[in-house]
Structure 1
Amino acid sequence: MKREDVGDLIAFLAVARAGSFTRAAKAMGVSQPALSQTVRELEARLGLRLLNRTTRSVSTTEAGERLLRSVASHFDGIEAGLAALTDLRDKPAGTVRITVGDTPAEGIILPAVAKLLPDYADLKVEVSVNAGFVDIVAERFDAGVRLGETVAQDMVAVRISPDLRMAIVGSPGYFANCAPPSTPHDLARHNCINLRYTVTSGWAVWEFEKAGRSLNVRVEGQLLVNSNALARLGALEGLGLAYLPADYVEPFVASGELVSVLRDWCDPFPGYYLYYPSRRQPSAAFTLVVDALRYRS
């Protein structure tokens, strides 16, 4: 096989898995036009169209799908073999890429990494904050973090937090002007801070449970944000009620800067899990990071 064929196949695999020239180029650290030209040259040499291109998406043709199935496992095997060589070092080395939301990144991932990295000079951990559901295989992440109830069944899931509770909080100044809600239905008369994690997702539904009874409420308010940090800040500024993980706001509740309401409607639910494909062969570096993050009650 010619050297240029190897590089062109790697480029094709990146685009086919990402479903986007833009995302693949970003992951590979090259320009989108250069990546597009590389794939076109591969198609020209083969005399076959490998990708269907539209203004919104990229998908494999029949020939492209056959090529993807036949070569992807070989390149994955090469990557796994190279990663396994780090096991021969005195200490694990390499880069572990994790996609995670801002709250668990701040409260779980960074504290664990801060304890781990000083002892392993050749270990790198890339933490990519993204609140949406990322395809970790297509985006070439080693692992992702999600709530336990949202992890796909074909993934290995490792618990990294205890059970969680949500909290509805507002500032004392906010409650000085209106009575606290007694039931979730009372939220209709409150200014609530709406949260949307990605551009394409809808506004988050506030979920409640009490004595086995579940209730979902869509709220309204003047402030609309796309991060937990902004929702918390909005509540601290007296702009409305926020619906956030209880441990994320507990220091402010303890200090009196925020007031928690409807506690009896906020039952615990499965916490955060690190997940990764069951078929992957973990490197020593990845195993080390997973063990550092593993929740121990």
Structure 2
Amino acid sequence: MPRTDMFTGLAEFLAVADQGSFRAAAAELGVTPPAVSQAIRALEVRLGLRLFQRTTRSVALTEAGAALLAQLSPAARDIGEALDRLSELRSRPLGVLRLSVPRIALDLAVLDVIQAFRLAYPEVVVELDVSDASIDITANKFDAGIRIGEFIERDMIAIRLTRDLRWIVVGSPDYLTVRGRPASPRDLLHHECIRYRFPSAKTIYRWEFVRGGETYTVEPRGGVTVNDHLSMIDLAIRGVGLAYTNDLVARHALGTGALEEVLKGHLPVKLGLFLYFPAKNQSQPKLRAFIDFAIKHVRDSPVFVLSNTV
């Protein structure tokens, strides 16, 4: 018997056996009584056995029908329970949640949230890919990502996590004592700048400044290039040179006096960090739970704000 025919007619058989009527079975299955009758006849022909004794007033199982029902009933219950469990999986947060995050977001927006989220949802396994590289989260099968707003594709759903970022140039007190404090971006030509290169790019990131409401860029000069913002901060603290970063990343070093800000009034304010994902992912219970949890968790943090999508 071809395996494709193995289950043909069994749903109708079980429904008639349960309801004791072709008409009631048809109503349960959402088909016509003739369709049920035809399916039962085809099953009986295939098995070479009569399964029901039919009269004008009643339908009763034959001995063969009763034997088949006894064999099928446990399996039918198991299948029903399996389907119920699958239905539950559609609504319960579980499985692997894959997130792409830049290094700077790990301390600012991720680590504390992940720790609390895992305690609340132990059935969700969180997989973090930490990289400043520009990553196509759809092609690389991530559920969501966290990025600075200006680098997020416009077809993504984006939920703001932090306030806007104020970009700054910083240096250590020792460096500024020896090399002096630049008064304008032009003075950077005479300074050692710690340069930044995106992992996925070949060019050096150009420092952006504002003049008369217009934005312009300067290519920094220096003997050290990194691809990680936190490494840049560490190097600046050690007096290697000036660093171009944002006020959230440098907030601790500024607060302790390990770094000092220069060129105030020359730098732009840009979009902050956003959690983003393709529209097709937003119905996933695991992602929905993470979004709701993250927003609630950071509600009272001074670096985070609640916002609608971009």
CA distance in 1, matches of 2:91, 2:271: 37
CA distance in 1, matches of 2:214, 2:242: 22
Report matched runs for 1:7-22 at 5 Å: none
Q: Show CA shifts across 1:143-196 (max 9, x none).
A: 122222222221111111111111211111101112211111111110000111
In the TM superposition, residue 87 of structure 1 has moved relative to its aligned partner by 4.2
* 1:268/1:83 CA distance change after superposition, 3 Å: farther
CA distance in 1, matches of 2:282, 2:86: 9
Tell me, what secondary structure is at the counterpart of 2:187?
Answer: helix
In the TM superposition, residue 84 of structure 1 has moved relative to its aligned partner by 7.0
- Note if 1:86 corresponds to 2:74: no
CA distance in 2, matches of 1:275, 1:215: 28
Q: Show CA shifts across 1:8-60 (max 9, x none).
A: xxxxxxxxxxxxxxxxxxxxxxxxxxxxxxxxxxxxxxxxxxxxxxxxxxxxx
Match of 2:245 in 1: 244
Match of 1:114 in 2: 115
- Note if 1:157 corresponds to 2:166: no
Question: Whose Rg is larger?
Answer: 2
User: Does the CA contact (< 8 Å) of 1:147 and 1:271 recur in 2?
Assistant: yes
2:291 counterpart letter in structure 1: V
Tell me, what secondary structure is at the counterpart of 1:247?
Answer: coil
Match of 1:73 in 2: none
User: Does the CA contact (< 8 Å) of 1:210 and 1:267 recur in 2?
Assistant: no
Tell me, what secondary structure is at the counterpart of 1:232?
Answer: helix
Structure 1's unaligned 5+ residue stretches are: 1-81
Match of 2:210 in 1: 209
User: Does the CA contact (< 8 Å) of 2:134 and 2:200 recur in 1?
Assistant: no
CA distance in 1, matches of 2:282, 2:293: 18
CA distance in 2, matches of 1:164, 1:173: 26
- RMSD over equivalenced CA pairs, Å: 2.1
* 1:84/1:174 CA distance change after superposition, 3 Å: farther
* 1:237/1:296 CA distance change after superposition, 3 Å: closer
CA distance in 2, matches of 1:83, 1:167: 51
CA distance in 1, matches of 2:213, 2:294: 32
Q: Show CA shifts across 1:228-273 (max 9, x none).
A: 1211111011000011121111211121111111121223211111
Please, what TM-score do these two structures have when normalized by structure 2?
0.65
User: Does the CA contact (< 8 Å) of 1:170 and 1:240 recur in 2?
Assistant: yes
- Note if 1:132 corresponds to 2:156: no
Match of 1:260 in 2: 261
User: Does the CA contact (< 8 Å) of 1:83 and 1:283 recur in 2?
Assistant: no
Structure 2's unaligned 5+ residue stretches are: 1-84, 296-303
CA distance in 2, matches of 1:113, 1:203: 32
CA distance in 2, matches of 1:136, 1:197: 17
Runs of 4+ displaced beyond 2 Å: 82-89, 279-282, 292-297
Match of 1:25 in 2: none
User: Does the CA contact (< 8 Å) of 1:95 and 1:126 recur in 2?
Assistant: yes
CA distance in 2, matches of 1:84, 1:174: 62
Match of 1:296 among 263, 280, 305: 305
Q: Show CA shifts across 1:199-225 (max 9, x none).
A: 543111111124512121101111111
Aligned length: 215
In the TM superposition, residue 88 of structure 1 has moved relative to its aligned partner by 4.4
Match of 2:233 in 1: 232
* 1:225/1:296 CA distance change after superposition, 3 Å: closer
CA distance in 2, matches of 1:202, 1:240: 20
Report matched runs for 1:281-292 at 5 Å: 281-292=282-293
In the TM superposition, residue 274 of structure 1 has moved relative to its aligned partner by 1.4
CA distance in 1, matches of 2:87, 2:246: 38
CA distance in 2, matches of 1:85, 1:137: 26
Match of 1:52 in 2: none
Match of 1:38 in 2: none
Moved more, 176-185 or 280-289: 280-289
2:305 counterpart letter in structure 1: R
CA distance in 1, matches of 2:228, 2:87: 37
* 1:84/1:276 CA distance change after superposition, 3 Å: farther
1:153 counterpart letter in structure 2: R
2:89 counterpart letter in structure 1: T
Tell me, what secondary structure is at the counterpart of 2:202?
Answer: coil
